[in-house]
Amino acid sequence: MVTRVFPSATIIPQRIFDDVVWAKRICIDIDGVICEYNFPKIVKDFFGVDLSLAVIFAYDLADVLGVAPALINTMFREQVWGKPNFVPGAIETLGDWKSKRYELIIYSNRVKYMGKHGLAKWILEWGIPCNDIDNGEGKYDVHIDDSPSKLMATDSKVKLLYSQPWNKRCLNITGELIRVKSWQEVRKYV
């Protein structure tokens, strides 16, 4: 049986949701899309290195800094999982969509560090509207992410690339990615 972690922090059997008809199914990333962070400050605090956003040329900070992914994981675990700094318009838009019976699915790398239940607890604690957490293996009407590779790996009709310094150099050779720079632009496509 498939299980879900919302609307409460406990696992709820899928059968509870079997009769729900969703207007749209939307997959959303957290970091760089719903929440924003001062990555130069985080890198400075953890590594003691001054860094500008302009030098972040890739989604993977381990590639940018030339360090092992384990160090980046430790940095994020220690400095990012607390109080979120919401991207303007994100929470209001998600709340509006949820009221319109859009199914909101979180697909975040945070699951690797926080676990599904830890992430669910964090989402509930900070009032982020959503219905479930998954690993991007479903079918979606829309997927919103700041990672071009995550967008291209999902079965989604509309792939919205949330513009960030680390994805500006994405060539989008397939033409499938639609670049958006704000939640106001996201709403236009949804």
pLDDT, tens digit, for every residue of 9-28? Answer: 444 444 445 567 899 999 99
Where is pLDDT greater, at 18 or 125?
Answer: 125
pTM of the entire structure?
0.86
| Mean predicted lDDT score pLDDT of the chain | 89
**Residue 11, helix vs strand vs coil:** coil
HSE-CB at 173 with a 13 A cutoff on CA atoms is: 1
Distance of alpha carbon 58 from alpha carbon 98, whole angstroms: 32
Q: Select the CATH number that applies to the domain covering 3-35+86-189 from these four: 3.40.50.2300, 3.30.1180.20, 3.90.1150.110, 3.40.50.1000.
A: 3.40.50.1000
